[in-house]
Amino acid sequence: MFAIFPEILHAAARQDQESLACLIRKYFAGNDVYAPRLRIEPLLGSLGVHSSREPVPYCARIQVMDHRGQYRISLSTSDRLTDTRELNYTQAHLLGYFLNVYLPLMAEAELSAEAYQLESSVLQKLLQRTKVDFAKVAAADLFALALLMPSGMVKKAYQALKSPENCAAFFHVPQALLNLRLAQLRVLPSELEASEDLAKPEVVPPSAASAKPAAQRASVTSESKPKSKAPEKASSLARVQQSVASRSYKNEGARVPASAATEKATQGAGDGLKRLRELAKKIDRSVDT
């Protein structure tokens, strides 16, 4: 059963995507509340959203139904989405659409059955732009950016790493997506060329990538295939982890104390994951956004 939190509802009503993303992490991310590499699927389970991978012709879909006074929310993604970064972003986008569009209707008991479907990759649609007017970016995309890359965390990580490439590895997102977030936060110029990463269309032709109106609740763009990483990227990521292990950042919105469960999970993880979590907890206490 999905629980409606007043704070989350108010943030959605204000279209405040930064606060909304922070609250979703706070209430539903559990031990991953500070994780730079946030996985969306477990978070959906905490929210009460059933998620699945299906051999469907579309890219992804979220459906809400009022079943005898209780809302059932299901999110399905195509099994053709094999890139974990694209899958993660797609799920975050769908969650953002649900929170901004369907949640207010649920709170007012004005929703019986609705569905929002993506015919192809919403991530590709965003990354194909070479210049972005963030005032016109869909609320679901703004939410996904804020959820996967919290403002304070991004600013501090970039300050420590000095490289969009290393920051992208740190958050496990395409470099072009990291560039967009940096531009949105005015850390980098807004005019950014699209990264080669995740830039080649696959399966769906460009002609099928036209966006449908928001009222139709569907966005369309082309599939993608990441380029293979060079062998030296592994050592680069190791240097990234070592470089930022002693740094810190401040999480957006209300402060969230680290739980004992988080510390226990950190101690049992490998050295690399341990350093990432230590960084995440430290960053929350140190950076002014």
- Reported as a single tens digit per residue, the pLDDT across 266-284 is 444 445 556 655 665 665 5
- Reported as a single tens digit per residue, the pLDDT across 241-267 is 444 443 433 444 443 444 444 444 444
Q: Is the pLDDT of residue 194 over 70?
A: no
**H-only helix segments in 162-287:** 164-171, 175-184, 232-244, 260-268, 271-286
Q: Which of the four pLDDT bands, split at 50, 70 and 90, describes residue 120?
A: very high
The pTM for the full model equals: 0.69
Q: Is the pLDDT of residue 38 over 80?
A: yes
Mean pLDDT of the chain, nearest integer: 76
- Reported as a single tens digit per residue, the pLDDT across 85-107 is 999 999 999 999 999 999 999 99
β-bridge partners, 60: 77, 118
Give the per-residue pLDDT at 224.
38
Q: At how many degrees (to 10) do helices 17-28 and 40-47 cross?
A: 80
Q: Is the pLDDT of residue 135 over 50?
A: yes
Integer Rg of the chain from CA: 18
β-bridge partners, 269: none
Cα distance between residue 94 and residue 75, in whole Å: 8
Domain boundaries, the chain: 6-286
Q: Which of the four pLDDT bands, split at 50, 70 and 90, describes residue 157?
A: very high
Give the per-residue pLDDT at 69.
77
- Reported as a single tens digit per residue, the pLDDT across 174-183 is 999 999 999 9
Cα distance between residue 33 and residue 251, in whole Å: 10
Give the per-residue pLDDT at 271.
55
Give the per-residue pLDDT at 284.
53
Q: Is the pLDDT of residue 212 over 50?
A: no
- Reported as a single tens digit per residue, the pLDDT across 40-76 is 999 999 999 999 999 999 999 999 998 877 899 999 9
Closest by Cα among 220, 173, 215, 181 to 197: 173
The answer to whether 202 and 224 are in contact (CB under 8 A) is: yes
